Chains A and B, each alone.
Chain A
Amino acid sequence: MNYSGAEILIKSLEAENVDTIFGYPGGQVLPIYDALYDADIRHILCRHEQGAAHAADGYARATGRPGVCLATSGPGATNLVTGIANAHMDSVPLVAITGQVPWSLLGRDSFQEADITGITLPITKHSYLVRDPSELARIVKEAFYIATTGRPGPVLIDIPKDVSSTVNEYIVPEELHLPGYKPVSEADSWQVVEAAKAIAASERPVIYAGGGVIISGAHEELLRFAELLMAPVATTLMGLGGFPGTHPLSLGMLGMHGTKYANFAVCECDLLIAVGARFDDRVTGKLETFAHEAKVIHIDIDPAEIGKNVRVDIPVNGDVKIVLKQLMNVLQPRLGEAWREKIQMWKKEYPIDFCDNRELKPQAVIREIYRQTGGDARITTEVGQHQMWTAQYYTFSKPRSFISSGGLGTMGYGMPAAIGVQAGCPGDTVFDIAGDGSIQMNIQELCTAVNYELPINVAVMDNGFLGMVRQWQELFYNRRYSQTKLFNPDFVKLAEAYGAEGFRVTKRSELAPVLEQAIRSSKPVMIDFMVESEENVMPMVPPGESLSKMLG
């Protein structure tokens, strides 16, 4: 049977069990949208291609299945770029499909032509420019395989219009032939043995768990591993939810805005076990003093991460879920009372807390969201102060419940991501915890949420500032608030104009009842929390400083 390239594409997506695509039509994807018209795949029309990319990213992070976004050539494709870079930095399986001008016009600066495979070269795991419809089925299969295996990441497929409209035979691709791509799973046994020896010899171990724990589905293994060693666990921003925040061994988050006890524990440990984490500068602070008394074991699926930023004593290259099992097979339970007592003392002495004056503080809002959702909601965030407060005051205990732009730090990520999360997890309560700056970067997606009846809750921590930048200006630039004071629209009216419900909370007494109403509502809701304007995120490690030198 013969099909158009576009039909082959849709058949190939169906073969990958794609149920949802986030996209935006345009000239060079007309054949693809025509084929979609009859397909069983749900298409969610976002209001900006960046929104489509973030929504697909949020869908992928919440469900663990690859997210798919679709855009036209030129500006459609370039609008995906931030979303693709975001997925690349946080290892999110994303398949981005773009239209391209026909081969006959390629390279002639044609209308809406952009070299998107060239533009995205540094921010994709792999990319394809399709030459012939006969390649399409194989390329789609490869793309999904590459995006989802090993260290996941975005793969781009650029399809010229003549390729999507030319008729060709559809042959289901057989075995993939990728001689240069062999993701690891098990670690070499000598690495496991070395790691086990170091663990047995350590007195003050700390587990430093990153997003790799969640990606590989290793949360249960991590819990058993930590309990076997009785070792405390500090997570990165991306690792939140990978270890229960309510567990006595949990140290919460480490790094720039981490808990004091997590940072003290890392400074004084004699063994640091990094599990699916990549020693980002926001985690390590000054590299020379980071865990300087410790041996370092680095467990990661990506060999290029091992030894990239810090000296590693024992590399363990493998899928963290499998490696943790390998380690537990050879390890004996241990106790380490003195070390745990010291950490308990730090926890008592330096709890994560804020000065609660019964005013409407952003931290109090987040604690109340936690209380009312019982920690069961899926939380997305934008980027800034509200993101850090969410990490500090919403105690995450389940994997894939905290969905945030970690590596790239993309303002405007949260709301489209929440749409993707809600589309992938229809029954769940979804919150986008936002700032009044970030929320306006993709505000148009509120229309998408209303359009598709996705009842997300958008909680805007409205302090009238680009809060995180203002905080740095306060601390490091003599309070010269250059371009950080915001003029805002009326968010309640704006929500209503889009067809969502809008609420405003100005007093602490209104917080609980309005939140209850929002969670009960079956419509998308936006709540404008008029929070204290110059609250700071504390504690804080000043940039480039040692973790032991925390402010606040």
Chain B
Amino acid sequence: MTHTLAVLVENTPGILARVAGLFSRRGFNIDSLAVGRSEDPGISRMTIVVEGDDSILEQVTKQLHKLIDVIKITDVTRDDFVDRELVMIKVNTETSTRAEIMQLVDIFRARIVDVGPKSLTIEVTGYESKINAFENSLRPFGILEMVRTGKVAMLRGFKSITISDHQKREETN
């Protein structure tokens, strides 16, 4: 089972190493990890996609919580959520295939961000299965290079994963 965790951490040097090191030394498998600033400049938000059953997820969560800089962990897969990933693909093009590729770009609502004499660089965002399908449809033309950001995710609706929300919940508990 795959879980997507939203992890709020203090924006301190070394926090990424702490989290990554924890996963490797405890033998947990990370599918992807994306980090960036959150709405609060002092807080970074990590989206970690982790593979494992409930007992593994429980250990991952508890061990993450032991890191002093980790403030809040939410398993968004337990709720309604949206997730997205951004991918850039550089694909080999010939005069004969260019039109066909541009058609695929239209169908998948991707965007061409760079045009070279023998290549097109395409940006696509979406959920995982769409991106996988797009990648597979480009494969016959020859993918020269691909880079993926890793998944980011958010809960649907008004509910949000923030620190103030966390503190509020603690006060009511």
Contact = CB atoms under 8 A, between A and B. Distances in A.
B10 interface: yes
Contacts of B67: 180
Interface residues of A, number: 18
A28 interface: no
Contacts of A125: 66, 68
Contact of B55 (A117, A118, A307): A307
Contacts of A302: 66
Contact of A121 (B9, B18, B62): B18
Nearest to B170: A182
Interface string A302-317: 1110011000000000
A308 to B, nearest CB: 6
B71 A180 contact: yes
A267 to B, nearest CB: 25
A513 interface: no
| Interface residue range, chain B | 20 to 34
A315 to B, nearest CB: 11
B14 A303 contact: no
Interface string A261-305: 000000000000000000000000000000000000000001110
Contacts of A121: 14, 17-18, 21
B65 A303 contact: yes
Interface string A117-140: 110011001110100000000000
Contacts of A180: 9-10, 65, 67-72
A117 B167 CA distance: 30
B13 interface: yes
A416 B24 CA distance: 33
A181 B64 CA distance: 11
Interface string A154-192: 000000000000000000000000111100000000000
Contacts, number: 43
B10 A304 contact: no
B58 interface: yes
Interface in B54-108: 55, 58-59, 62-63, 65-72
Nearest to B69: A180
Interface string A98-129: 00000000000000000001100110011101
B68 A129 contact: no
B67 to A, nearest CB: 7
Nearest to A142: B68
A304 B163 contact: no
A303 B59 CA distance: 9
Contacts of B55: 307
Contacts of A303: 62, 65
B25 interface: yes
Contacts of A515: none
Contact of A304 (B9, B13, B14, B66): B66
Contacts of A118: 17
A30 B135 CA distance: 59
Contacts of B14: 117, 121, 127, 129
Contacts of A179: 10, 71, 163, 167
A181 B25 CA distance: 22
Given A121-B18, A122-B21, A129-B13, A304 B59 contact: yes
A256 interface: no
Given A180-B9, A308-B59, 8 more contacts: A125-B68, A126-B68, A180-B68, A180-B71, A181-B68, A304-B59, A304-B62, A307-B58
List the 4 closest pairs (A to B, CB-CB), nearest first.
A304-B62, A180-B71, A126-B68, A181-B68
16 contacts: A118-B17, A121-B18, A122-B22, A125-B68, A146-B68, A178-B68, A179-B163, A179-B167, A180-B9, A180-B10, A180-B67, A180-B72, A181-B68, A302-B66, A304-B65, A307-B59
